[in-house]
Structure 1
Amino acid sequence: MSENKIPFWRNSRFLNLFFQSIIIIFILLLLGIFRNNLTTNFNQLGLSFGFNFIFDPDLNSRFDIGDSPIPYQATDTYSRALLVGLLNSLRVMISGIILAFILGVIIGLGRLSDNWLIRKIATVYVEIIRNTPLLLQLFFWYSVVFLKLPKINKPLIFINSFFLSNQGLYLPWPRGNLQTSLSVLLLITIPILFIMIWRRNDQIIIQQGINNKLYQALLIFLVISVIFVIIWGLDWQIPQYNYQLKTLQGGLTLSPEFATLLVGLTVYTAAFIAEVIRAGIQSVSQGQWEAAKALGLNSGIIMRFVIFPQALRVIIPPLTSEFLNLAKNSSLASAVAYRDIYAVASTISNQTGKSLEMLLVVMITYLTFNLIISTGMNWFNRWVQIKEN
C-alpha cells in the first residue's frame, strides 16, 4: 500500500521555513531602507559616520567630570571621558543592586512580621515609594535633603569618623598598604571557609535534623573574625578637616550627586523588591509550614530548608527584572548632574555632532550591562532549582 504524500503547501515544516524566510527577508529589507536613509541624510548634511574621533589624541574632551574614580582632566581624549562615565555608572549600579536587595529583603520580611507596628511601617513605605515617580524622588533627595545639609566647615559628625555636609559624604577608607592587602586577603578567605562550613552544617541538619554545635561555634568565630579584621585589621584613613583649604581630606568622598542617585535608586527599587520577597514567601502553601512543624522542625530550619527554597522559584524572575530596572533607571543621573555614561555621551554628542554614534555607544553599554545581569541571575536561578529525582 503506497503512502500518500502531503502536498508541500500543506506541509507544516515547509510552511514554517517559508514564513520564517519571509520574516527574515522583510527585516533585511527594512534594515536596508534604514541604512539608505541614514546614508542619504548624512550626505546631505555633510556628515560622516565613524567612531575614530573617540580615540583621536588630537581631540580633547574640554569638559570636567566632578566624580572621577580614576585620574581625569579636560585635556584627555573622549575615550577617557567615556571610561570615567562607564565607571561612574558601574559604581551606581553595583552599589544600588546590593543595597536595594538588602533593604528590600528587610522591608519584605517586615511586611510579614507578626508585630503590627513593623508591618504597618513597611506597608506605608512600600505604598508611598512605589506610587511616587522616581524622578520626583531624586529631585527631593537632591534639593530637599543633600543640598540643605550643613556647610563643609560645620558638618554633621557620626562616631568621629563619618562627616556629612552639603558637599558630600566623607567616609573612612583603607590605605593602600601591606596591612590592608593582608586584611583584604583574609576577608576573601574567611567567607569561603564560612560557606564550606555552612554547607556541611546544612548536610548534617538534613541527615540528623539538628544543628552541629561545633560547626555553629566555627561559624560564629568566623563572623567575629570578619568584624575584627574590618575594624582593626584594615588600616583606615579617617577624613580630617583642613583649615587652610577649608575642606575635608582623606578617606572616601561621595558627592551629593552620587549620594542622591544611589539613595534614590536604592529606596525606590527596594520597595518593589520587598513586594517580590513577600509574594514569593506567601506563594508557598500553608500546608508546607504545617508539614514541617509536624516533623518537629523549628521555624529557622523550616524557613531555610522548606519555605525559602520553594519561594526562590517565584522570587528570582521578578527580582531579575528589578535589578534590570535599577540599571536602566540609573540613566536618570543627568537629572541630578551626576556624570554617568549617558551624561558624558550627551556632552560629547553636543560637542562633536556625533549624535548617532554616541546613541549607539549608550545603547550597547546598557544592553551589555543588562545582559550580564540577566545571565548571572539566570545562572543563579538554575543553580537554586529544586532538582527532582
Structure 2
Amino acid sequence: MQYNWNWGVLLQEPYLGWLISGVGWTIAVASAAWVIAFTLGSIVGVARTLPNRWARGVATAYVELLRNVPLLVQLFIWYFVVPELLPDDWGRWVKRDLPLPEYTTAVIGLGFYTASRVAEQVRSGIELISRGQSMAGYASGLTTLQLYRYVLLPVAFRVIVPPLTSEFLTIFKNSSLALTIGVLELTAQSRQITEYTFQGFEAFTAATVMYVVITLTVTAGMSLVERRARIPGFIAKGG
C-alpha cells in the first residue's frame, strides 16, 4: 500500500498556525524553565561545595532525588499531586484560577528537574579549580562569600559553558513531555495535525526539522559564548 504524501497540508490553515504556535510554546516552556534551572542549579551546585556539611547534605539530597526520578513522573506529581497536598484554598486556586496552569506546571517541573543536572555541572566546575586558588584567597583575607564571588565562580562558569550548552539543548528536547499535561507545544501540535489530516509523516518530519533548527541555532550561539569565555592556558585539576 503506497503512502499518499501531501506536504502542502502543512501550509494550510489552521495547520501552519498550529505548527508556529507549537514552536512558540516550546521556546516559551524551555526558556522559562532554563531561567529556573540555571538560577536554582547554580545555588545548589555552590551549596554542594561549601564547607558547611548541612548545606552540602541538603543540596546532595536535592540532586540525587530529582535527578533519579523520571521527568515524566515529576511532571505528573507537580500537576496532579501537589495541588491536592496544598491547603484547600490554595489547591482550588492552583486547579481553577492559576493562569495557564499546564504551562506553569511544565515550567516548574522541567526547571526543577534540570536544576539538579545544572547543579552537578556547577559543582564539577568549582572542583576543577585547583585548591591552591582557594587557599590563596583565604590567605589574602577573603571570606567564603568573597572567595566564591571573586575567584571560584567567575572561573567555574566559564569552564562549564560546553556542558551547560548540552543541558540547554536537552531542556528543549525534554519540553516535549509537557504535552502529557496538556501544553500544546510542537510535539503535541504535530500529533493534533496527524489526528485531523492523517498525514503523520509530514507533521512529525516538520516537527523534527524545527527541533533541529532550534538546536542548531542554540549550538551556534553557545559556540560564540564558549569562544569568548574560554580561559587561555587554563589547566583543570588533574588535567
TM-score by length of 2: 0.87
Higher relative contact order (CA 8 A, sep 6+): 2
Deviation digits for residues 7-39 of structure 1 (CA, Å, limit 9, x no counterpart): xxxxxxxxxxxxxxxxxxxxxxxxxxxxxxxxx
Q: What count of residue pairs does the alignment treat as equivalent? A: 232
- Distance in 2 between the 1:314 and 1:386 partners? 8
- Structure 1 residue 325: deviation in Å? 1.1
TM-score, length-scaled by structure 1 = 0.55
Question: Which residues in structure 2 correspond to 1:354-373 (within 5 Å)?
Answer: 354-373=199-218
Where do residues 67-146 of structure 1 align in structure 2 (5 Å cutoff)? 77-146=14-83
The equivalences for 1:1-389 within 5 A come to 44-45=1-2, 47-50=4-7, 52-57=8-13, 77-146=14-83, 154-155=89-90, 164-169=93-98, 253-255=99-101, 257-294=102-139, 296=140, 298-299=142-143, 302-387=147-232
8 A Cα contact 1:155 1:165, kept in partner: yes
Alignment partner, residue 207 of structure 1 = none
Q: 1:121 to 1:148 in 2, by over 3 A?
A: closer
Task: Quote how far apart the aligned CAs of 1:149 are.
Answer: 5.7
Deviation at 1:305, TM superposition (A): 4.6
Q: Quick check: 1:150–1:166 contact (8 Å CA) kept in 2?
A: no
CA spacing shift, 1:354–1:289, aligned 2, 3 Å: same
Per-residue Cα deviation, 1:321-378 (whole angstroms, up to 9, x for no partner):
1111111001111211211111011110121121111111111111122122222222
Between the aligned partners of 2:65 and 2:33, the Cα distance in structure 1 is: 20
Matched residues in 1 for 2:5 and 2:129: separation? 59
Contact 1:146/1:260 (<8 A) preserved? no
Cα deviation, residue 304, structure 1: 4.4
Separation of aligned partners in 2, 1:147 and 1:349 = 34
Contact 1:258 1:338 in 2 (8 A): yes
Write the distance in 2 (CA, Å) between the matches of 1:335 and 1:148: 21
The one-character-per-residue Cα deviations of 1:205-242 (angstroms, maximum 9, x if unpaired) are: xxxxxxxxxxxxxxxxxxxxxxxxxxxxxxxxxxxxxx
Identity percentage of aligned residues: 35
Aligned mates of 2:114, 2:3 — CA distance in 1: 45
Measure, in 2, the Cα distance between the counterparts of 1:137 and 1:98. 18
1-structure distance, mates of 2:156, 2:73: 33
**Residue type matched to 1:298 in 2?**
L
Report Cα offsets for 1:140-173 as digits up to 9, x if no partner: 111101466678xx557xxxxxx9421252xxxx
User: Alpha carbons of 1:168 and 1:110: their partners in 2 closer, same or farther (altered >3 Å)?
Assistant: farther
Aligned CA-pair RMSD: 2.3
Give structure 1 regions of 4+ aligned residues with deviation exceeding 3 angstroms. Answer: 146-151, 291-294, 299-306
SS at match of 2:69: coil
- When residues 286 and 371 of structure 1 are mapped into structure 2, their CA distance, relative to the original with a 3 A threshold, is same
SS at match of 1:101: helix
- In structure 2, the CA distance between the partners of 1:164 and 1:118, relative to structure 1 (3 Å rule), is farther
SS class of match (1:351): helix
Cα distance in 1, alignment partners of residues 58 and 71 from structure 2:
20
Structure 1: how far apart are the matches of 2:61 and 2:121?
16
Higher strand share: 1
User: One-letter code of the match for 1:254?
Assistant: L
Partner of 1:165, secondary structure, is: helix
One-letter identity of the residue aligned with 2:25:
N
Q: Secondary structure at the match of 2:183?
A: coil
Aligned equivalents of 2:94 and 2:154: distance in 1? 44
Larger radius of gyration: 1
Unaligned ranges ≥5, structure 2: 234-239
